[in-house]
Structure 1
Amino acid sequence: MPTARLLVGPALRRVVGTRATVWVETSGPALVRVGTPDGAGGEATTFTAFDHHYALVVVEGLTPGRATPYQVFLDDEQVWPEPESKFPPSMIHTRREDDPDVRLIFGSCRETTQHATARKLPPDALDAYSRRLMAAYRAGPDGTDPDWPDLIVLLGDQVYADQTSPTVRKLLRRRRRRTVGAPADQVVSFDEYTKLYLESWRDPEIRWLLSTVPSVMIFDDHEIIDDWNTSTPWRAEVHSQPWWPERIASGLASYWVYQHLGNLDPDEIAADPVYAKVMAAEDATSVLREFGQRVDAEAIGYDAALGAGTAPADAAVPGRYQWSYAVDLGRTRLVVLDNRCSRVLDKTHRAMLPPTEWSWFTDQVHGDYDHLVVGSSLPWLLPPGIHHLESWNERLADSDRPRVAEYSERLRRALDLEHWGAFRRSFDALAQVFARLGSGTPGQPGDRVGTGPAYPPPASISVLSGDVHHSYVARARFDTAIATPVHQLTCSPIHNQIPAPMRPLLRLGWWRGPSVAARALARTAGVRRPSVRWRRLDGPYFGNAVSTLRHDGRSAEVTIEGTSAEGTLHTVARRSLTG
């Protein structure tokens, strides 16, 4: 018997050329080895933190353009595939260098299936997708499947720290030692966070899916707490809670271990400063605890420096950790943005990203590719009526009149008015970036878009989002015609549901009459007209769903699939994005 057991995983995270990364959690320290029948493989020793054990193995020597089964060994004992498993073998699919076609699966907001024991939820869309992939499991003569997804993009709320299942709540009640004042039904410590991931990722269909299709992820608010970093008053209020320091440090540390570490490609892993410290430590508990505390403190400190006028002229924050990342697949570039942790909340500088990270983003989107995909946990384009309401609320919440600001802040939290429309500086900046990319116009002085070689406009620009618990497709219209179609593609939830009373309000947000009224309200507060207009093409769809974005050469198409009562998928929308 092996000295350690496989607790979570294996999760196939990144496949880059002839290399891949495989993430695991084990029950004890071990040497983790991943091998294939044709001799490709890799190994890594586990690192220990908070009495838990993890490894990220870089597999090398894979054959391009093939599907290769793999095995996982702990101290030379095979632990995956499991004996007598009824699931298809886990495979690593590599791409051919000249293959321009890309399949991205995306969605957000997945509560564990155990929530169904507490309240009725529609069937899990990712479970349904996994079952369908198993049923269609096949490989062509060269070991590849033309319809096999290249990547799963999970856009936030992969776990819910503040809305736990009956199983986790029972565990919390049995705990004798918890932080003073800790909410009885919410996780706070790192160990409690591990129970969320164990519960969610050991779902058999999900475990198989993550073992055989690469995935990348980004957090939204529920990985930490509802409305995370919505405003400066919110931040001050939550920081007054005695349990918050442990919650934010544990939430960010566990996110780094379970989600972000797998977003890095093999070269980025070696260069990541946190990974280097973790691997050098005999016990990385203090390393990760300090890391979680520091990341939150950096955001607060930068906001304070902005408010005091003492921020560095170039907005640089030495050593500041970046959660945003970029992925290239064929002729598709995916840039996934942190919409939560690094927000600038100072009222005169409110922004989704700090200036240095925005410069990084504009660097990433300037290049030679056919399709640009921006991953944003929060939709850039909401129903117009709601967008105008958010912009109005942002202006009043920043009022110098205390009563107006206080009332507007309460309204902001009650209605979750915290999307790009509530960060108008960032909303307009993103529109300007897309307009310049779509027209091939060089960037303005000080804007790093266009400072390198000139490239032709991409065939499509798509913003993938979740959060809002309904799915839709919208197209942006700019003041001047551009060559590239720009779409908002929202798919949410994977496994959750929106309260029934909210559905009519979201539908009304797309209607012209309410939108005009909301725009007039925003105008009374001095909010200027948005630099882009948009209209809904498909949706809103309120059931559980998963979506596929297909890039075939320079054509692009999105398909939204919902779940039936029987737990199967059916198409609710299909839209060409380049027609």
Structure 2
Amino acid sequence: MTGLRLGPLLRYVDQDTATVWVETEAPCQAEVHCEGSTAGGTARTWQVAGHHYALITVVGLEPGTETPYRVTLDGEQVWPLAGSPFPTSTIRTLPPPDAPPARTPPLRIAFGSCRWAARPAGARHDPMGPDALDALAHRAMNGGPRPDVLLLLGDQVYADETSEPVRARLARHRDLSRPPWDQVADYEEYTELYYESWLDPEVRWLMSTVPSCMIFDDHDVIDDWNTSEAWQRGIRATDWWRERILGGLSSYWVYQHLGNLSPAELAEDPVFAAVRAADDGAPPLRAFAERADQDPAAARWSYRRDFGRTRLVMIDTRAARVLPESERRMVDDEEFDWLHAQVLDGGPGAVDHLVLGTSLPWLLPPAVHGLETWNTALCSGARGTRWSSFSEKLRQRADLEHWSAFPRSFRALTELIQRVATDQDAPASVNVISGDVHHAYVAEPEFDDLKVAGGGQRSRVVQLTCSPIHNNIPAVMRSGFRFGWSRAGRRLGRLLERHARTGEPALRWNRTGGPWFGNMLMTLTLHGRDATYQLEQARPATSAPDGTPRSGLEPVFSGRLSGTEPAAPPSRDKS
């Protein structure tokens, strides 16, 4: 009997179709059976470097329903696991597109980033505390509310910070005293990270029953990935980087990216077709990864998902970068044209809510924003070569590579958001959701001087940041982020911008919540033109009947972005 190695992961779901991803122990026919329904799907596995996978398209589902399912391999049931204590996994489809809000449930989007599956060896951080994904799973399996979709905004795995068990497995095959030392080296070693992360029993069950959308950030490959042209030039000169980046991009494509796509997009994907047609899909996949690394325009990792009248556009802020100092941009021109087209598709009134997913926040603590703007100007020679050399070292050491470190792209994204928010029949809310910075906050831009086309109502625009899911930062960095939001931090940011002669900032914003620290998830709830959000922190909770400790989610902060209730007044804490 062929066994199930990893999964199932429920990925894409719409009104009548879903995709389910699995990794198996050997080649086989994988099938999803929907209980009490004629819906289902089947797929033959395909191989990459000795590992076998299937992405099963489930068809025939009814809109607005919840359907239990099971998975068989060559006719033998492998999911639910024998003796499983968890509820049966289900597929919950979206309501019919023409259903009125009064007859549809709210759409709940939970999001966060930065999850250590296990504590890295030698970590000096404070104790991590409970895993927010575990806490969400515990609540859902006990009948509590669960999201309709889970957005994982980067650092799903840490290729550069491995745990003791992973390091022990790596040491069986190579000498860890040689580069890349105890970090992962290639595709095979990346698979160890996904097993460690997604075989956690509670997380495995959660991801089998809650659809997920994902995007990478730096630690999925390496800290500071594509920070600058100088960084890229230096790492490409090493003798171990090529296998690392090819393994990182290839494994991301298999384990994360494919599930972000709709069945129609998968059917038109030439790389997916080539991998499935090959005896071993590793060569065509490696060739694709090589092209993607050398030329950002050769691959698109960004994607769009529509959930009724809510649109999610997930933006790749790592692999799409243009790094030469004179051309420096977060995404290349072709990618930004695509983003523009996806956001504006359908014209005014096409959506009630726009969600822009970006692993790196658009609006940062003011001191950090000013520091990154200053640093970028100095790196490009605004104060001479001595400042330029110092600033490049600072940029790499301090991770100064968010949207504010790409001023041209920051302005372009700001202008796009302004256009959407002030268009006739604008969405009720425009939400930029992010992670990365290991604290949570809410920030809102000042657009008060902008006129709305046709005299309509302007969108409520917010930056919602939630990180980490399961990680921590030293106390000194917590103090640094608090300072970054303070009045003194704002003043410092402005002084740095004046020193670099960058001119007036393109935007000012208010902090309306936070900062908060700890392992957290944020949930954005959308219903008609109503929009609310809630931040929850993972806390230790009572033990299960068998004595196993369980974590819980405790509300920390909530707010209303649009709807019949008045929104919370903005903070006076301005950038």
Report the TM-score, using the length of structure 2 for normalisation: 0.90
In the alignment, does 2:558 pair up with 1:574? yes
* Correspondence for 1:435 among 411, 418, 437: 418
Aligned to 1:491: 466
Determine the C-alpha separation between the residues in 2 that align with 1:496 and 1:513.
28
Map 1:405-420 to 2 at 5 A: 405-420=388-403
Partners of 1:470 and 1:498 within 8 A in 2:
no
Unpaired runs of 5+ residues, structure 1, are: 138-146, 300-316, 441-454
By how many angstroms is 1:480 displaced? Answer: 2.0
Contact residue 114 and residue 167 of structure 1 kept, 8 A:
no
8 Å CA contact 1:181–1:242 kept in 2: the answer is no
- The letter of the residue matching 1:468 is V
Question: Contact 1:491/1:546 (CA < 8 Å) preserved in 2?
Answer: yes
Aligned residue for 1:462? 431
Cα distance in 1 between the residues matched to 2:118 and 2:536: 19
Percent of aligned positions with the same letter in both sequences? 50
Supply the AA of the counterpart residue of 2:238: Q
Aligned to 1:50: 49
**3-state DSSP of counterpart to 1:509:** helix
Q: CA deviation at 1:514?
A: 2.3
Q: CA deviation at 1:553?
A: 1.1
Residues 68 and 89 of structure 2 are in contact (CA less than 8 Å); yes or no, is this contact kept in structure 1? yes
Cα 1:181–1:295 shift into 2, 3 Å: farther
The offset of 1:555, in angstroms, is 1.2
Q: Which moved more, 1:189-198 or 1:92-101?
A: 92-101
Whether contact under 8 Å (2:120, 2:161) holds in the other structure is no
Contact (CA 8 Å) 2:121, 2:164: kept in 1 or not? Answer: no
Q: Match of 1:354?
A: 332
1:221 and 2:218 equivalent? yes
Provide the residue aligned with 1:92 in structure 2: 91
The residue that corresponds to 1:126 in the other structure is 133
Distance (whole Å) between structure 2 residues aligned to residue 155 and residue 83 of structure 1: 32
Asked if the contact 1:380–1:420 (Cα under 8 Å) also holds between the matched residues in 2, the reply is yes
**Distance (whole Å) between structure 1 residues aligned to residue 122 and residue 55 of structure 2:** 34
1:560 and 1:246 map into 2 onto residues whose CA distance is: 39
Cα distance change of structure 1 residues 516 and 41 upon mapping to structure 2, 3 Å threshold:
same
Alpha-carbon distance between aligned partners in 2 of 1:273 and 1:519, rounded to the nearest angstrom: 48
Distance (Å, rounded) in 2 between the aligned partners of 1:99 and 1:93: 18
Question: Which of 123, 142, 145 is the matching residue for 1:135?
Answer: 142
C-alpha contact (below 8 Å) 1:478/1:531 kept by paired residues:
no
Question: 2:570 maps to which residue?
Answer: none
- Does 1:326 pair with 2:304? yes
- Structure 1 residues 106-117: aligned runs within 5 Å: 106-113=111-118, 115=120
**2:532 aligns to what?**
557
CA distance in 1, matches of 2:311, 2:27: 37
Task: Write the distance in 1 (CA, Å) between the matches of 2:206 and 2:393.
Answer: 41
Q: What is the correspondence of 1:129-208 to structure 2 with a 5 Å cutoff?
A: 129-136=136-143, 147-176=145-174, 181-208=178-205
Q: Distance in 2 between matches of 1:121 and 1:337?
A: 29
* Corresponding residue of 1:343: 321
- Secondary structure at 2:540's aligned position in 1? coil
Structure 2 residue 210 is the aligned partner of structure 1 residue 210: no
Distance in 2, matches of 1:71 and 1:116, equals 37
Match of 1:531 in 2: 506
**Cα distance in structure 2, aligned partners of 1:114 and 1:28:** 31
CA 244–166 in structure 1, closer or farther in 2 if over 3 Å, else same: same
Whether the aligned pair in 2 keeps the contact of 1:391 and 1:522 (CA below 8 Å) is: yes
Structure 2 CA distance for partners of 1:466 and 1:241, relative to 1, 3 Å: same
Match of 1:302 in 2: none
Counterpart selection for 2:486 from 511, 514, 522: 511
One of 356, 368, 389 as aligned partner of 1:386: 368
Q: Report the Cα distance in structure 1 between the residues aligned to 2:199 and 2:122, rounded to whole angstroms.
A: 17
Give deviations 1:261-286, integer Å, cap 9, x for gaps. 00001101111111011111111111
**C-alpha spacing 1:518/1:114, structure 2 compared with 1 (3 Å):** closer
Q: Which runs of 5+ in 2 are unaligned?
A: 453-457, 542-550, 568-575
Q: How many residues align?
A: 534
CA separation of 1:206/1:56 partners in 2, compared to 1, >3 Å: closer, same or farther? Answer: same
- Superposed CA RMSD: 1.6
1:540 maps to amino acid = P
Partner AA of 1:457 in structure 2? A
Task: State the distance in 2 between where 1:547 and 1:50 align.
Answer: 37
Which residue identity does 2:190 align to in structure 1?
Answer: Y
Q: CA deviation at 1:181?
A: 4.3
Partner of 1:298 in structure 2?
295
Between the aligned partners of 2:121 and 2:392, the Cα distance in structure 1 is 33
Q: CA separation in 1, counterparts of 2:280 and 2:412?
A: 43
Letter in 1 for 2:407: R
Q: Aligned partner of 1:330: which letter?
A: G
Q: Distance in 1 between matches of 2:371 and 2:282?
A: 44
Report the counterpart of residue 39 of structure 1 in structure 2: 38
Distance 1:167 1:542 in 2: 28
CA distance in 1, matches of 2:326, 2:272: 35
Matched, 1:373 2:355: yes
Shift in alpha-carbon separation, 1:213–1:111, aligned structure 2, 3 A: same
Q: 1:177 to 1:506 in 2, by over 3 A?
A: closer
**Partner-residue secondary structure (3-state), 1:565:** strand
Q: Hey, which bits of structure 1, 4+ residues long, moved more than 4 A? A: 114-119
Specify the alignment match of 1:313 in structure 2: none
- Report the Cα distance in structure 2 between the residues aligned to 1:102 and 1:273, rounded to whole angstroms: 33
Q: How does 1:280-295 map to 2 (within 5 A)?
A: 280-295=277-292
Q: Specify the alignment match of 1:8 in structure 2.
A: 6
CA distance in 1, matches of 2:256, 2:390: 37
Distance in 2 (CA, whole Å) between partners of 1:99 and 1:238 is: 54
Deviation at 1:479?
A: 5.9
- The structural deviation recorded for 1:528 is 2.1
- Map of 1:69 onto structure 2: 68
Correspondence 1:397 to 2:382: no
2:446 aligned partner, one-letter code: R
Distance 1:493 1:176 in 2: 32
Question: Aligned equivalents of 2:266 and 2:168: distance in 1?
Answer: 37
**What secondary structure does 2:341 align onto?**
helix
Aligned equivalents of 2:375, 2:122: Cα separation in 1: 38
SS at match of 2:156: coil
Instruction: Say if 2:121 and 2:162, in contact at 8 Å, map to a contact too.
Output: no
**Does 2:59 align with 1:60?**
yes
Q: Deviations over 1:213-259 (max 9, x none)?
A: 10010000001000000000000010011000000000000000000
TM-score, length basis structure 1: 0.90
What per-residue deviation string (whole Å, max 9, x for no partner) do you get for residues 59-117 of structure 1?
00011111100110100101001111110000000121126531101000000135599
- Superposed displacement of residue 176, structure 1: 3.5
CA distance in 2, matches of 1:330, 1:257: 27
For 1:309-365, what per-residue CA distance to the aligned partner results, in whole angstroms no more than 9, with x for missing partners?
Answer: xxxxxxxx5xx2100000000110000000001101111111111101101101111
SS of alignment partner, residue 295 of structure 2: helix
Q: 1:249–1:291: 8 Å Cα contact kept in structure 2?
A: no
* Residue 246 (structure 2) pairs with residue 249 (structure 1): yes
The residue matched to 2:53 in structure 1 has which SS? strand
Q: Which residue of 2 aligns with 1:449?
A: none
Shift in Å at residue 558 of structure 1? 0.9
C-alpha separation in 2, matches of 1:558 and 1:469: 19
Please report how far the alpha carbon of residue 177 of structure 1 lies from its aligned counterpart in structure 2 after TM superposition: 7.4
AA partner of residue 258 (structure 1):
Y
Matched residue of 1:559: which SS? strand
Counterpart of 1:303 in structure 2 is none
The letter of the residue matching 1:63 is E
